[in-house]
Amino acid sequence: MHKKTWLIFSCLAILISGYSIIQYFFMDAHQAGFVKLKLMLNSTLSSFWYIMLYLHIIFGIVALVIGPFTLFSKFREKNINRHRIMGKIYMIGILLGSVSGLYLAFYATGGLVSQLGFGFLSLFWLITASQALAKIKHKNIQAHQKWMIRNYSLTFAAVTLRIWLVLFTVLFGFEHFNLSYTIIAWLCWVPNLIVVEWFIQRKLNRVKHQDNADLQF
């Protein structure tokens, strides 16, 4: 990851993480946008739902903030041991964040389409992490890096979700919130995955062209 890209991702990750910490841990969580909406649609939410929500927030923030440091090549090269420690913490964050996210997906606003959107997000979040972990255990560093990039694009859905929410609210207002949220349940992560896949394939093609040029020389 280039330095400018790293700075953008890091700043957005820290901003959203800070906003979530203030909203859920320093202010009244019942007044938080997502919780308030759930209470409007469902007057009672179980204690277990709140536990899973807080697990999802805490470990999602951990993964969101640590992610850019694990992907930044200069940091990784100069801090191998720290990279490994942060990678383990990141994986714990993904495990607990995805499991709690999968539970919360069953209660997503917007019905079945939203539930499927967030459910698949949680599943792919866990699958891409497990693939990244499997590749590094087999010392396949390049494949590990690719799967980590894919995984962080899903982690970054915490940021893109809020960007799309603001945009859809400005364009369509609260009266169409359920429909907007149904679309955003997919829009917050599918384009992320498409973009990083394009980036990975573009990088692979560039390496192949370079190798061919070297052989011809």
Q: Which amino acid is at 112?
A: L
Between the alpha carbon of residue 194 and those of residues 19, 142, 183, 187, 211, the distances in Å are 27, 19, 16, 11, 26
| pLDDT score of 214 | 45
Between the alpha carbon of residue 91 and those of residues 118, 156, 183, the distances in Å are 19, 15, 28
Gap between the Cα atoms of 203 and 193, Å rounded: 15
Q: Which helix (H) or strand (E) holds 24?
A: none
Give me the tens of pLDDT residue by residue for the chain, a chain 217 residues long. Answer: 667 777 888 899 999 899 888 877 777 665 566 666 665 555 567 889 889 989 999 999 999 999 998 888 777 778 888 889 999 999 999 999 999 999 999 988 888 999 999 999 999 999 999 999 999 999 999 999 999 999 999 999 999 999 999 999 899 887 888 889 999 999 999 999 999 999 898 876 665 555 444 434 4
Gap between the Cα atoms of 83 and 81, Å rounded: 5
Gap between the Cα atoms of 213 and 125, Å rounded: 37
Predicted structure pTM score: 0.87
